[in-house]
Structure 1
């Protein structure tokens, strides 16, 4: 009896969401990708000379956001080797206390002639930090596991290939002892789970969506999220023309909802009643989906739709019963999560790629020129503070305890009060 109970418990542990310890930010947008900050005293006012704990130069180019566990801040970057006409895809680790660059490790090399979209980089997916491994993902160019203690590559895979036609974007998502990777290319679309410790494939599923004729419309760059409803975990995975709900333990599709959209980037956000999904370019909408059902639930489980100036890149964020979203042109909107009613709008000005974070009734919006505006998380979104950093800002912010971690095109910053 004891052995049977232990086996059941181990099975539950192996296939359960990777809940993060307090003060950790070990995947894109923190715990479950929701951008919610659990801190006591996060800086609101900061800059090049104010509340700056340290500032560290980072080589190369990359828009992956920092992932944080313990005293480790991990990110990826792409460094051009002009002499060899190649691009070096690398993992970087910075000490969270001091800002010391502790590790700069090459993982892959690709031809220098590879092309990406002007707004993207070869190192845009954010790493996942597990108990003993860091998983660095570069889409079609490869995925690698790094031993956190030894700072050595323990495994790598270069056998999953798609035509991104713009570069990689979807970040890996942890689930128990596995990590889930998303590939939505112009030629193929599939989702795969591999073991964090070895890279061994656990499951792989092809997308079920019937796609349009033009290959460009087959692409997507969204990072999925694990939504738990009534004790059941679902992997909510937006793709081209359809959002899929999978069993994250097996890859089996549970339900899907059709839409007309592609090249979507935002992570789904959720509460107990709804999961909110952005559909991407073409017919750009936010969909509020209710749990339950199987197969095509588009006629029965779409609670509401909103389609005015919706984001295709920055992810939305929930604060209480309100959904906040900012699009690439800086138009922010506050919606009632229950009904989709517009509660407020504000034009923030500028260009936006980074996803906002929420802390203590405030939102942090990061504009590409380096302006970070802190606003009240109310329908009017009044400004609390405007801050600035040097360099281009497309990576989403991360938080370690009470430290605000910002990555720009040239540096990683730590702001601490």
Structure 2
């Protein structure tokens, strides 16, 4: 991977030039011609640099190269800031100098209209307070220039009239898109799945897979062996489906294991799958769901093994894998973190569980694994470090605030982002070493991305690029 030069790698004139460019970008004061001349004088990304899916190239929040800034803010190390229309918690994906983002522009009802719309749903009046609903939504894709922050293209995908209600903390565009070569796959749950040509922006194929999410979509797609893998765990039905990445046709479809739950509300889930290869050479899709963690044959959808984790539901955190074991959170209710071997067959509940931790486990943010230690932050702002070997707690520390975004590790530092726009930068280790707390405007629900020495951060209103 080609890496950005950090300030220490640049000559003094180059560093001055870079700072001048950033200052000009903030003021939007450069002419196009002048900007082109200056831009040619500083490092830029190549097609080798990409952040293609939720949680990055490896899907686990690990940045293998690059050195993003430790300190940043509205007036500190900010290269550019671009306002974005709509409401979306999906994370940015990046390739070939373009940042891609999905969004949903809502036509907001009045309070009277909102209540009337909610009365037409299957929700009870008791649930109305925690729900949001739009009169209609416009599903869009934004293409933003990585270097300048310029909004290069807005692609209109679909208009949905009277969409389902969602949770007030969710959005209609929460699943993160995925880049597959020249294609961009954008998934909006029950509202549609769209495949675009990245070069032209043209629609290649579209599928609609109806589902009762109850509180809106959440599971992001992944690409594996030319297949789009989607977890479809809704209220009325729970299944995993593989679509042909080129055509959108169904390759296979597999129902989830039976669940012991009084209502569909405790059967739904919003997790993103991971693809692994076990010690036996089997290519597995690990698809976490309510009550069960399940492994599927990536080619056929046949089940390899299943593990019962209890009554957890509405699972969000993406699992992580270390080559031998999978580590996964069990969802809402009373979240736990489990570790299990992946080399089994059939029901492995009694044979392959390594340990389970029951305290300060997130229902939404995913964990990150560094040098044998698992780092996570729960929804209420308590960060923890857990030993991978036995699940023992190494340390816990209250950071403060509410959390939904998943952390990333870059240049030996972990970045945790909360709803209030605070970004805590922590040095991994056996003690909680908070290096700095940064602040940006707006609410952070999307997980950050890193390309070279640039940190890309999405808030509820804008997209940022920060550099050292």
Instruction: Tell me, in whole angstroms, the C-alpha distance in 2 between the residues paired with 1:113 and 1:143.
Output: 15
Instruction: Tell me, in whole angstroms, the C-alpha distance in 2 between the residues paired with 1:290 and 1:375.
Output: 29
Displacement, 1:397?
0.4
User: After the TM superposition, which segments of 4 or more aligned residues of structure 1 sit over 3 Å from their partners?
Assistant: 81-85
Displacement, 1:136?
0.2
Displacement, 1:162?
1.3
The counterpart of 1:205, out of the listed 242, 251, 254, is 254
Partner of 1:360: 411
The counterpart of 2:70, out of the listed 44, 48, 58, is 44
Instruction: Tell me, in whole angstroms, the C-alpha distance in 1 between the residues paired with 2:433 and 2:304.
Output: 41
Instruction: Tell me, in whole angstroms, the C-alpha distance in 2 between the residues paired with 1:178 and 1:243.
Output: 21
Gaps of 5+ in 1: 1-20
Q: Which stretch has the larger CA shift, 112-121 or 336-345?
A: 112-121
Per the alignment, do residues 351 and 82 of structure 1 end up closer, same or farther by CA in structure 2, a change over 3 Å counting? closer
Instruction: Tell me, in whole angstroms, the C-alpha distance in 2 between the residues paired with 1:80 and 1:261.
Output: 31
Under a length normalisation based on structure 1, what TM-score does the superposition of the two structures give?
Answer: 0.92
Displacement, 1:82?
5.8
Displacement, 1:256?
0.7
Partner of 1:238: 288
Kindly indicate whether the alpha-carbon contact (under 8 Å) linking 2:67 and 2:410 is maintained by their aligned counterparts in 1: no
Query: Tell me, what secondary structure is at the counterpart of 1:190?
Result: strand
Partner of 1:90: 140
- Kindly provide the CA deviation profile for residues 311-332 of structure 1, in whole angstroms up to 9, marking residues without a partner as x: 1100011001001111000111
The counterpart of 2:390, out of the listed 335, 339, 358, is 339
The counterpart of 2:61, out of the listed 35, 39, 50, is 35
Per the alignment, do residues 372 and 295 of structure 1 end up closer, same or farther by CA in structure 2, a change over 3 Å counting? same
Structure 1 position 370 matched with structure 2 position 421: yes
Q: Which stretch has the larger CA shift, 168-177 or 229-238?
A: 229-238
The counterpart of 1:219, out of the listed 251, 268, 274, is 268
Structure 1 position 60 matched with structure 2 position 86: yes
Structure 1 position 282 matched with structure 2 position 282: no
Kindly indicate whether the alpha-carbon contact (under 8 Å) linking 2:91 and 2:101 is maintained by their aligned counterparts in 1: yes
Displacement, 1:104?
1.1
Instruction: Tell me, in whole angstroms, the C-alpha distance in 1 between the residues paired with 2:293 and 2:373.
Output: 22
Q: Which stretch has the larger CA shift, 243-252 or 295-304?
A: 243-252
Structure 1 position 192 matched with structure 2 position 241: yes
Instruction: Tell me, in whole angstroms, the C-alpha distance in 2 between the residues paired with 1:77 and 1:352.
Output: 21
Displacement, 1:302?
0.3
Instruction: Tell me, in whole angstroms, the C-alpha distance in 1 between the residues paired with 2:192 and 2:247.
Output: 14
Alignment of 1:391-402 (within 5 A): 391-402=442-453
Gaps of 5+ in 2: 1-46, 110-133
- Kindly provide the CA deviation profile for residues 273-324 of structure 1, in whole angstroms up to 9, marking residues without a partner as x: 2110111122421110112111110111001111112111000110010011
Displacement, 1:111?
2.2
Displacement, 1:113?
5.3
Structure 1 position 69 matched with structure 2 position 95: yes
Instruction: Tell me, in whole angstroms, the C-alpha distance in 2 between the residues paired with 1:379 and 1:270.
Output: 21
Partner of 1:316: 367
Instruction: Tell me, in whole angstroms, the C-alpha distance in 1 between the residues paired with 2:306 and 2:261.
Output: 17
The counterpart of 1:109, out of the listed 119, 137, 159, is 159
The counterpart of 1:384, out of the listed 412, 435, 447, is 435
The counterpart of 1:403, out of the listed 440, 443, 454, is 454
Instruction: Tell me, in whole angstroms, the C-alpha distance in 2 between the residues paired with 1:122 and 1:292.
Output: 37
Displacement, 1:76?
0.7
What root-mean-square deviation, in Å, do the aligned CA atoms of Structure 1 and Structure 2 show? 1.5
Query: Tell me, what secondary structure is at the counterpart of 2:51?
Result: coil
Kindly indicate whether the alpha-carbon contact (under 8 Å) linking 2:305 and 2:344 is maintained by their aligned counterparts in 1: yes
Q: Alignment length, in residue pairs?
A: 396
Structure 1 position 297 matched with structure 2 position 348: yes
Kindly indicate whether the alpha-carbon contact (under 8 Å) linking 1:229 and 1:272 is maintained by their aligned counterparts in 2: yes
Under a length normalisation based on structure 2, what TM-score does the superposition of the two structures give?
Answer: 0.82
The counterpart of 1:26, out of the listed 52, 56, 77, is 52
Structure 1 position 228 matched with structure 2 position 254: no
